[in-house]
Chains A and B, each alone.
Chain A
Amino acid sequence: MSLSPLAIVLLAVTLLLGVGFYGLLVARNLIKLIVVLQILAKAAMLAFVAAGYGQEHMGLAQSMVAMVIVADTVVAVIALALAVQVRRHYGTLDVRKLTTLRG
Chain B
Amino acid sequence: MVELLLILVIAAVACAIQAIRAERLLNSALWLAGASAFIAMIFYSMGAREVAIIELSVGAGLVTVLFVFAISVAGDESIEGRPAVPRALAVMLAGLCVIGLIWLLRDLTAPTPTAASASALTNALWHERALDVLAQVALIFTGVIGLLGLLAEPRSAHAAETHTTPVEGSQQKIAARATTESPLELQKEAARP
Contact = CB atoms under 8 A, between A and B. Distances in A.
Q: Do A and B bind each other?
A: yes
Interface string B52-73: 0011001100110011001101
Contact of B12 (A16, A50, A70): A16
Nearest to B39: A42
Contacts of B77: 29, 87, 92-94
Chain B interface secondary structure, helix, strand, loop or mixed?
helix
B114 interface: yes
Contacts of A88: 74, 154
Contacts of B58: 69, 73
Q: Determine chain A's interface SS by DSSP, over half rule.
A: helix
In this complex, the interface size class of chain B, counting residues with CB under 8 Å from chain A, is: 35 or more
B20 to A, nearest CB: 4
B36 A21 contact: no
A13 B13 CA distance: 9
The 6 closest A-B pairs by CB, nearest first: A59-B120, A58-B116, A81-B149, A78-B146, A22-B94, A7-B109
Interface of B: 1-3, 5-6, 9, 12-13, 16-17, 19-20, 25, 28-29, 32, 35-36, 39, 42-43, 46-48, 50-51, 54-55, 58-59, 62-63, 66-67, 70-71, 73-75, 77, 79, 81, 83-85, 87, 89-91, 93-95, 97-98, 101-102, 105, 108-117, 119-125, 128-129, 132, 135-136, 139-140, 142-143, 146-147, 149-150, 152, 154
